[in-house]
Structure 1
Amino acid sequence: MYMALSWRNLWRNKKRTLIAVASVLLAVLVAVVMRSMQDGSYAYMIRSSVRFYTGYMQVQGNGYWENRSLDRSIVIDEKQQKEILQIPHITSIVPRLEAFSLVSFEKATRVAQIIGIDPAAQNNMTGLGKRLVQGKYLTNTSNGVLIAEGLADMLKAGVGDSIVLYGQGYHGNIAAARLPVAGIVRFPVQEMNNASVFLALGNAQNIFSAFGRITSLAIMLDDIRNQADVHNALSSMLGRQYTIMSWEEMMPDLVQGIELDNASGLIMLIILYIVIAFGVFSTIMMMTTERAREFGILISVGMRKTSLIWVTTLETVFLASIGAIVGVAVSLPVIIYFHFHPIPITGGVAAFYKLFGVENPVFYFSVDPGLFIHQAIVVLLIALATALYPLFFIKKLQPVQAMRC
């Protein structure tokens, strides 16, 4: 009975009801769009950063991350790699041999990171082939190298020229080779663009006397939410002789940047919730005050205050629920549109994104269902909390005075 009476009361004054619903609707819309943009942008940034080089996780030798020495390289043969690929949620793996060496051409010499790669796997993960600005891409049998554009400019070397690598190999062996430049690649991150040389993994293992060895095995996943499960599976399979690094451990600056931005976003969201609370409260207060005479008459003709409180509370529940549901419905097409048409980022924010390998910085919107549900529930609870005002108003109401209003 109370529910039917509350529902009828809502539509006795359609204008008043629509104002209340609109306030909740707008609150849900703003909250959902704001949080969708934040969560979506974080996910896009992480996805782009891990694809740029590190992967979601890496298998390394114990202590390698602290001391990048070839003496801490590891052996993961083809059989083990196939077993790792069979772990659920792993989509690809990229073996690498990384070392530092002097790189010379004619009279110019620079220090660079030499990266032995499986060309197909590296291209599949990072799109290295798309970064090629001159020359041709590598194959597993290539004797040539890909050199970063900035380093090529410093050395004044071009495609077809031969550069000299000179450094220290595995267990102190001399690593020296003269290799032709097969291609030049361009990176958005200056550090990589000024100091990177790529060559076929087998060729790198021969030059550095690290036969069959790698320094890291980068791993890509189907979904970041499966990271913990994959980490546990890898730990069980490989044992303690290997270290499994997560992207958070390899990119602490990115984590700190996201946490800082998320904290500021949460503060803005809290401020938004406070504004929403005052807006909804003022609407409910106006509705309650306007109905003081009505409440006084109802109590005078015998309606108990507890019954009236139930009716007004249910009215608030209906108003908040309608506003939340319609708010989600209205926000959905907005979010979907910007999910497929992200907003480009320019200026200083774009420069920050590019530091982590995000080549096309955009504000990307998340369509995670939990996002809509969570924001709708928060706004709904805020609206329901305002039902306390009619409760205390009716409890203190004096029928005679109310009917004179």
Structure 2
Amino acid sequence: MKEHIQLAWRNLWRNKRRTILTISSVFFAVFLALLMRSMQVGTYGSMIGTVIKNTTGYIQIHAPGYWDDKTINNTFENSEELDETLLSTDNITSIIPRLESFALASSGNQTKGVAVIGTHPGIENKTTALEKKLIRGRYFNEGKDEILLAENLAKYLKVDTGDSIVLLSQGYHGVTAAGEYKVIGILHFTAPDMNNQLVYMRLEDAQYFYAAPNRLTSLSIMLDEPDNLAKTANTLISLLGNDYEIMTWKQMLKELMQGIQSDNISGLFMLGILYMVVAFGIFGTMLMMTMERKREFALLVSVGMQRFKLSRILFLETVFIAFIAIITGIIASIPIIWHFFKHPIRLTGEAAKAMTEFNAEPVMPFAFEWNIFLNQSIVVLILTFVAVIYPIVYVLRFNILKAFKGK
């Protein structure tokens, strides 16, 4: 076997031009496949991560039936015991308590329906970086009856930092909710829906406004390892039973999930087309190599080499070609993938608009994950091994006399 390996390696470099051409065809297959798949996976991951942090979290806990009937009456009472249970569960890094409902915002002659989010300022900022979305004003401190307004909402109400607005709504169990709040900051969101209607206030202020002391509409949960989403959700279901409604982001953000799945299918289809082109390219190169070496094969068999051993050497040559091409393809792609992993491509125009509608940042980062390199390498390796079937079959079946004549 050692002799066969040495012979196969020497055979590669007897015709350097042919070997380099064959390696190049496999190299570009690996290189392009890695770039394409890394871009797809990175974009999906960025979109999911941004949307989850800005909206639902990976998992949410509600009162039973809240998701189908989002009213202030479908709230649950928060407790230290519940918080301790959640934070002691593996894979959970933080929980964000929120009280969300709707209200009518009024300033002068301007009135508009708004979405009110009562939250813990410190936890919210640590998780969603809410303070970084400020374009004017300041973030929450210890002051009461203060709010942050979304940019377009502030423009519509014709208010700025330092002004006050009146909020009117229906509180817990039908209580009339009314209050005057000072605008301390203006927020900018990429998603138009959020930028047109969001009002943030301290959780205690929201609970007082809606007459719902110590009550929440949701607990948003952030995870350390998102890949273990289902396992963590099942753990919470077993711990909390039927007292709460536990939902993952895939259940809450079905439109986003469907959009990603649809785009992933089209991406895999394009990758499949690339693989087909690559497969024919590799096969064509192998076919050319076989035709060029007809007389060489005939001579070796005629002097006593067994066809099986010759086919084994041919297979080993292909293994060398495949591994050289795959390794060089990975090495060549790493700097590019790493660059766009650290410095994502910023989208503009319609592409950016489509991303912001999902509340995702309009960027296209690449994913730097070992499984991408492994999976694409395996696929190209399989294509290469399939392409070598023809030369091996030819060696096992060819006619020596015809091969000497070049037929």
User: Structure 2 length as normaliser, TM-score?
Assistant: 0.95
Q: For the Cα contact (< 8 Å) 1:97–1:205, is it kept in 2?
A: yes
Q: For the Cα contact (< 8 Å) 1:140–1:200, is it kept in 2?
A: no
Superposed displacement of residue 370, structure 1: 0.8
Q: Distance in 2 between matches of 1:33 and 1:194?
A: 37
Q: Please, which moves more after superposition, 100-109 or 271-280?
A: 100-109
Q: 1:358-392 CA deviation, whole Å, 9 max, x = no partner?
A: 23x22211111011011011101100111111122
Q: Please, which moves more after superposition, 70-79 or 137-146?
A: 137-146
Runs of 4+ in 1 over 4 A off after TM superposition: none
Q: For the Cα contact (< 8 Å) 1:51–1:125, is it kept in 2?
A: yes
Match of 1:280 among 282, 290, 308: 282
Tell me: CA distance 1:141–1:234, structure 2 relative to 1, closer, same or farther (3 Å). farther
Instruction: Tell me the residue number matched to 1:394.
Output: 395
Q: 1:15-72 CA deviation, whole Å, 9 max, x = no partner?
A: 2111111111111111111101111111111111111122111111111111111111
Q: Distance in 2 between matches of 1:147 and 1:404?
A: 85
Q: Which aligned pairs between 1:78-157 and structure 2 lie closer than 5 A? A: 78-139=80-141, 141-157=143-159
Asked if 1:380 corresponds to 2:381, the answer is: yes
Q: Distance in 2 between matches of 1:164 and 1:252?
A: 34
Q: Distance in 2 between matches of 1:139 and 1:83?
A: 29
Q: Distance in 1 between matches of 2:140 and 2:339?
A: 39
Q: For the Cα contact (< 8 Å) 2:104–2:168, is it kept in 1?
A: yes
Q: Distance in 2 between matches of 1:124 and 1:55?
A: 13
Q: Distance in 2 between matches of 1:132 and 1:329?
A: 42
Instruction: Tell me the residue number matched to 1:39.
Output: 41
Letter in 2 for 1:391: I
Q: For the Cα contact (< 8 Å) 2:192–2:356, is it kept in 1?
A: no
Instruction: Tell me the residue number matched to 1:167.
Output: 169
Q: Distance in 2 between matches of 1:376 and 1:293?
A: 33
SS at match of 2:185: strand
Q: For the Cα contact (< 8 Å) 2:145–2:180, is it kept in 1?
A: no
Q: Distance in 1 between matches of 2:95 and 2:45?
A: 21
Instruction: Tell me the residue number matched to 1:225.
Output: 227
Letter in 1 for 2:149: I
Tell me: CA distance 1:161–1:334, structure 2 relative to 1, closer, same or farther (3 Å). closer
Match of 1:10 among 9, 12, 20: 12
SS at match of 1:32: helix
Superposed displacement of residue 277, structure 1: 0.6
Instruction: Tell me the residue number matched to 2:301.
Output: 299
Match of 1:186 among 169, 185, 188: 188
Superposed displacement of residue 106, structure 1: 2.1
Q: Please, which moves more after superposition, 313-322 or 208-217?
A: 313-322
Instruction: Tell me the residue number matched to 2:316.
Output: 314
Q: Please, which moves more after superposition, 300-309 or 29-38?
A: 300-309
Identical residues among aligned pairs (%)? 43
Q: Distance in 2 between matches of 1:96 and 1:147?
A: 17
Q: Distance in 2 between matches of 1:133 and 1:364?
A: 25
Superposed displacement of residue 141, structure 1: 4.6
Tell me: CA distance 1:307–1:177, structure 2 relative to 1, closer, same or farther (3 Å). same
Q: 1:193-216 CA deviation, whole Å, 9 max, x = no partner?
A: 221211111111112111110001
Instruction: Tell me the residue number matched to 2:405.
Output: 404
Superposed displacement of residue 354, structure 1: 1.0
Q: Distance in 2 between matches of 1:337 and 1:99?
A: 42
SS at match of 1:371: helix
Superposed displacement of residue 140, structure 1: 5.3
Asked if 1:364 corresponds to 2:365, the answer is: yes
Structure 1 residues without counterparts, runs of 5 or longer = none
Q: 1:165-223 CA deviation, whole Å, 9 max, x = no partner?
A: 21111111111112222222222222122212111111111121111100011111123
Letter in 2 for 1:397: F
Q: 1:287-329 CA deviation, whole Å, 9 max, x = no partner?
A: 1111101111112112222222222122222211221222222
Aligned length: 404
Q: Distance in 2 between matches of 1:134 and 1:364?
A: 29
SS at match of 2:55: helix
Tell me: CA distance 1:140–1:221, structure 2 relative to 1, closer, same or farther (3 Å). farther
Q: Please, which moves more after superposition, 371-380 or 162-171?
A: 162-171
Instruction: Tell me the residue number matched to 2:75.
Output: 73
Instruction: Tell me the residue number matched to 1:339.
Output: 341
Letter in 2 for 1:9: N
Q: Distance in 1 between matches of 2:113 and 2:69?
A: 17
Letter in 2 for 1:367: F
Match of 1:246 among 245, 248, 268: 248
